[in-house]
């Protein structure tokens, strides 16, 4: 039974909300316990203070009565009446006895000797009841010149007022505890819900994302930690959405590009199998050409998928553009000796980019420019700095770009060259946009074409 109860308690506390609620309630309980402790200390000090004050008043009354005895040389009730009434007004009901233990005067006798106005005041103070029972009194001996002359019996009438004060304070404390306790429980529930609400939203969004709802996102608000958590989740969801889009696009492109060579090869093989056409060298060579095209499409798709994967994990860093470009241009100088290469880049030009991706961008652009020149010609690489970033252009003196091709040159599998796969510029555009940049192309006014890349700083 005990183990089952403990297991149930642990299960209830297994959520963040319940743990926060329990923690807040424990803090509230500790605060209320501290209030009770402080109240107990205050009441104890109050009792000590009252007792000390009454003790001081008792000694004052003793001194007054001993002084009256010394003045009259005996106990004179009429001389003691004022002091006895004054003592009563200070919370002390007194009775004076002589050495034979005969009563000299008490508070009732003293009040009888007062004027009617004074009687009303005393009765109003005593609420109509004058103390007459001294069975619980505290005795104090009275002395004159070191000789005992009688006894003073004192009953502390202010004790009732003290008890009334303590009772009222207890009721007030109980009301405060109930009010504060209820408010604390309510605030604890509200706070625990508010604190865990972002976690609940994140959990629901994650479950929705797992269930195939690609648009699931988390609103970004709350404390700095929850904002960071929501932004991280949204970035992850955006990355997953982008990867899914790229995957679908890649499958679509692959299906489109692979369908044509596969159809041609199947048709030729079926014709050969049916004996409609001879399986001679010419037709087998054509079939091998289609197979080479098939392999080329697969290689292009592989290059495209690698480029897309690279665009998702860029490692940007400051790069000195001239020293970065010099070895790249040198490789083209060795392979295309008829082309004159020019590097118009300032020594201090810097670009913030992923070095591997930037290298792939420049190799593709310069390679396309060399293909466009196709012999003797010129290729120029320029850069222009601005406050917002760097503009990089590759210009050639080749055949230029046909006007009807310009709107489509960055589309996948669209090629302006007879034997091109239409992948290179699509990869370049993918990587440039992954850097937050833009890309344009056009024809020079005299001859040739240009490709311009802008990368933000």
Answer yes or no: are the C-beta atoms of 302 and 253 closer than 8 Å: no
Instruction: Please give the Cα distance from 182 to 179 (Å, whole number).
Output: 5
What domains are defined for the chain? Answer: 14-189 (3.30.450.20), 224-311 (1.10.287.130), 317-456 (3.30.565.10)
Q: What is the per-residue pLDDT across 101-111, written as a single tens digit (0 to 9) for each?
A: 889 888 888 88
Answer yes or no: are the C-beta atoms of 77 and 105 closer than 8 Å: yes
Answer yes or no: are the C-beta atoms of 209 and 237 closer than 8 Å: yes
DSSP code string of 19-33:
HHHHHHHHHHHHHHH
Q: What is the per-residue pLDDT across 176-206, written as a single tens digit (0 to 9) for each?
A: 777 877 787 787 777 777 777 777 787 888 8
Sequence-separated (6 or more) residues with CB below 8 Å from residue 385: 346, 349
Instruction: Please give the Cα distance from 362 to 357 (Å, whole number).
Output: 9
Closest CA to 95 of 153, 50, 9: 153
- Return the exposure string of 115-150: e unless at least 16 CB atoms fall within 10 Å of the residue's CB, then b: eeeeeeebeeebeeebbeebeebeebebeeeeeebb
pTM exceeds cut of 0.85:
no
Sequence-separated (6 or more) residues with CB below 8 Å from residue 442: 401, 406, 449, 450
Please tell me which residue, 150 or 422, carries the higher pLDDT value: 150
pLDDT of residue 210: 80
Instruction: Please give the Cα distance from 452 to 440 (Å, whole number).
Output: 5
Using the predicted structure, report yes or no on whether residue 374 has a pLDDT greater than 70.
yes
- Return the exposure string of 334-361: e unless at least 16 CB atoms fall within 10 Å of the residue's CB, then b: eebeebebebebeeebbbbbbeebbbbb
Answer yes or no: are the C-beta atoms of 156 and 90 closer than 8 Å: no
Task: Find how far residue 269's CA is from the centre of its chain.
Answer: 66
pLDDT of residue 393: 93
Sequence-separated (6 or more) residues with CB below 8 Å from residue 183: none
Using the predicted structure, report yes or no on whether residue 441 has a pLDDT greater than 70.
yes
For strands 147-156 and 138-144, give the pairing: antiparallel
Please tell me which residue, 256 or 137, carries the higher pLDDT value: 137
Instruction: Please give the Cα distance from 266 to 334 (Å, whole number).
Output: 42
pLDDT of residue 5: 44
């Amino acid at each position: 039974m005990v183990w089952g109860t403990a297991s149930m308690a642990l299960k209830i506390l297994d959520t963040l909300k319940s743990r926060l609620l329990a923690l807040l309630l424990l803090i509230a309980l500790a605060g209320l316990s501290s209030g009770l402790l402080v109240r107990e200390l205050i009441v104890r000090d109050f009792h000590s203070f009252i007792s000390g004050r009454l003790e001081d008043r008792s000694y004052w009354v003793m001194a007054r009565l001993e002084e009256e005895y010394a003045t009259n040389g005996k106990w004179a009730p009429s001389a003691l009446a004022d002091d006895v009434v004054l003592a009563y007004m200070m919370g002390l009901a007194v009775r004076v006895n002589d050495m034979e233990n005969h009563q000299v005067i008490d508070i009732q006798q003293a009040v009888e000797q007062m004027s009617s106005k004074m009687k009303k005041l005393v009765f109003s103070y005593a609420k109509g009841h004058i103390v007459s029972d001294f069975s619980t009194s505290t005795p104090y001996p009275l002395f004159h010149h070191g000789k005992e002359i009688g006894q003073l019996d004192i009953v502390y009438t202010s004790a009732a007022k003290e008890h009334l004060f303590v009772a009222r304070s207890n009721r007030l404390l109980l009301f405060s505890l109930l009010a504060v306790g209820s408010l604390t429980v309510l605030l604890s529930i509200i706070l625990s819900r508010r604190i865990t609400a972002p976690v609940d939203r994140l959990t629901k969004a994650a479950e929705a994302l797992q269930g195939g709802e690609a648009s699931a996102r988390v609103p970004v608000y709350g404390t700095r930690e929850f904002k960071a958590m929501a932004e991280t989740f949204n970035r992850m969801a955006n990355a997953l959405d982008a990867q899914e889009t790229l995957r679908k696009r890649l499958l679509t492109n692959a299906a489109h590009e692979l369908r044509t060579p596969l159809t041609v090869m199947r048709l030729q093989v079926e014709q050969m199998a049916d004996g409609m056409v001879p399986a001679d060298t010419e037709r087998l060579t054509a079939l091998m050409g289609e197979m080479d095209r098939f392999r080329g499409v697969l290689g292009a798709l592989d290059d495209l998928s690698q480029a897309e994967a690279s665009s998702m994990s860029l490692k940007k860093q400051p790069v000195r553009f001239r020293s970065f470009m010099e070895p790249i241009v040198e490789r083209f100088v060795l392979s295309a000796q008829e082309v004159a290469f020019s590097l118009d880049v300032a020594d201090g030009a810097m670009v913030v980019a992923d070095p591997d991706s930037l290298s792939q961008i420049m190799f593709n652009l310069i390679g396309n420019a060399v293909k466009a020149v196709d012999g003797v010609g010129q290729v120029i690489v320029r850069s222009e700095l601005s406050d917002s970033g760097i503009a990089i252009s590759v210009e050639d003196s080749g055949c230029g770009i046909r006007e009807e091709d310009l709107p489509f040159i960055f589309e996948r599998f669209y090629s302006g060259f007879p034997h091109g796969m239409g992948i290179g510029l699509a990869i370049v555009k993918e990587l440039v946009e992954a850097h937050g940049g833009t890309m344009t192309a056009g024809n020079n006014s005299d001859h040739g074409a240009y490709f311009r890349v802008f990368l933000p700083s």
